[in-house]
Amino acid sequence: MDINQIKNKFKTLFGDNYSVYASPGRINLIGEHTDYNGGFVFPGAIDKSVVACIHLNGTNTVRAYSIDKENLREFRIDQEDLEGEQHWSKYIFGVCREIQKRGYTIGGFDTVFAGDVPIGAGMSSSAALESTYAFALNDLFHLGIDKFELARIGQMTEHNYVGVKCGIMDQFASLFGKKGHLMRLNCATMEFEYFPFDPKGYKLVLLDTIVKHELASSAYNKRRESCENACAHIAKRHPEVKYLSDASMAMLEEVKNEIPEEDYMRAKYVIGEKQRVLDVCDALGKGDYATVGERMYGTHYGMSKEYEVSCDELDFLNDLAKQCGVTGSRVMGGGFGGCTINLVKEGLYDKFIATAKEQFSKKFGYEPKVYDVVISDGARRID
């Protein structure tokens, strides 16, 4: 991404005084749809970010310009809502509101931003945007909010201003990311650990189907409701179960006939996924990539057949990876389109990518996009 383009646009619109902030998108090795179920996730920040120039303007108006959308939007800092459906400015507006709801005082600012996190690809471009502004405003107004709370500010922006009842993984990864490291986060306690990630002899690569599901946010919220329903039924018999991830398969079996078949399948996936994350952490410690890969395929199966958040294009790429002998492959992120994440032996990489491009375009008429994963640092001030 060309930071000079952002700086030049800022100068043209607002003048020479500004600070620069950035916050990245993320990958997730394993642990999908577990965050809002109090389970484990295993993400890392990537080398694709949102970058913003910001200057406090001493008024109570925010003037924000999106380079990618070529669009300027203004709102007052004390405004309670923003008109317009899913406008990009809702993310910045929501962050301002959520900071103020927590009792902090902020004022107006001028800003220009751009991003190279592909939108709708499952790499959390929206969390990158939220985290950029949560981090920047906290710094510029000297609010002293810790990074966990900044992550919640981003998450609640999604809940209250975008309409996605997401978990905490994406904002957490964007804020806490560390070069060369994945993070295993326990979403029930928010305890986390950095794991150095340097799989010798392997590459992590994303294949983007470029499919975007229009109803993804309502389907996502529906999955969450199913999990909460299954959990509530289990908790009636086992009060120690606070989140679905606390439950065992045996507990789920006890309530099988009390809940809709669909909720049962969703819960089965989530409980299985918890063990897969732990297995992967264990296997990584031993350099056992065969097990890491097997669990990734297990997650894909569960997301496709039990959680039902895959699509033909993703399943096709997953099958193809298996046929090519790729060590591990699965749909990444919320699903309903976006990318597969693939753990590929270096020697197989070129052949796999060439085959995937060829076979995918034969079937769907266009090539998937390819992104090599580079695990990078989280939110930061740049200048």
Rg of the chain over Cα atoms, rounded to whole angstroms, equals: 21
Cβ at position 278, least distance to ligand GLA in Å: 16
Active-site residue identified among 35, 170, 208, 315: 170
Which of 98, 110, 130, 170 binds ligand GLA (CB under 6 A)? It is 170
CB-CB contact of 283 with 311 (8 Å)? no
| φ, ψ for residue 340, nearest 5 deg | -100, 150
As a whole number of angstroms, the distance between CA 43 and CA 46 comes to 10
**Spatial separation of the C-alpha atoms in residues 283 and 302, rounded to whole Å:** 20
Give the count of residues interacting with ligand GLA (CB under 6 A).
11
Q: Is 315 in the site for ligand GLA (CB under 6 A)?
A: no
User: Any contact of residue 302 with ligand GLA (CB under 6 A)?
Assistant: no
Stretch that binds ligand GLA, among 33-41, 97-105, 110-118, 249-257 (CB under 6 A): 33-41
Identity at 122, one-letter amino acid code: G
Judged by CB under 6 A, the stretch of 11-19, 139-147, 165-173, 357-365 that binds ligand GLA is: 165-173
CB of 170 to ligand GLA, least distance (A): 5
Task: Give the separation between CA 297 and CA 303, rounded to whole angstroms.
Answer: 10
Can you count the helices (H) and strands (E) in the chain? 11, 13
> Binder to ligand GLA among 27, 33, 176, 243 (CB under 6 A)?
33
Note whether 35 binds ligand GLA by CB under 6 A: yes
Distance CA 121, CA 333 (A): 8
Distances (CA, A) of 8 to 4, 24, 50, 114, 360: 6, 22, 16, 12, 40
Geometric angle at alpha carbon 127, from 33 and 16, rounded to 5° = 175
Is 81 an annotated catalytic residue? no
User: Applying CB under 6 A, does 152 fall inside the site for ligand GLA?
Assistant: no
* Residue type at position 83: E
Residue 98 binding ligand GLA, by CB under 6 A: no
CA-CA distances (angstroms) from residue 269 to 51, 205, 210, 247, 281?
36, 24, 25, 12, 19
Helices (H), 23-106: 89-101
For ligand GLA, the closer of residues 38 and 167 by Cβ is 167
Which of residues 53, 99, 166, 227 is near ligand GLA by CB under 6 A? 166
Q: Shortest distance, CB of residue 368 to ligand GLA, whole angstroms?
A: 19
- Could you say whether residue 223 binds ligand GLA (CB under 6 A)? no
For ligand GLA, the binding residues in 327-366 under the rule CB under 6 A are: 333-334
Candidate ranges 14-22, 162-170, 189-197, 252-260; the one touching ligand GLA (CB under 6 A): 162-170
Does the protein bind ligand GLA through residue 273 (CB under 6 A)?
Answer: no
Q: Are the C-beta atoms of 372 and 252 separated by less than 8 Å?
A: no
Known catalytic residues? Answer: 170
Which residues here bind ligand GLA, judged by CB under 6 A?
A: 32-33, 35-36, 124, 166-167, 169-170, 333-334
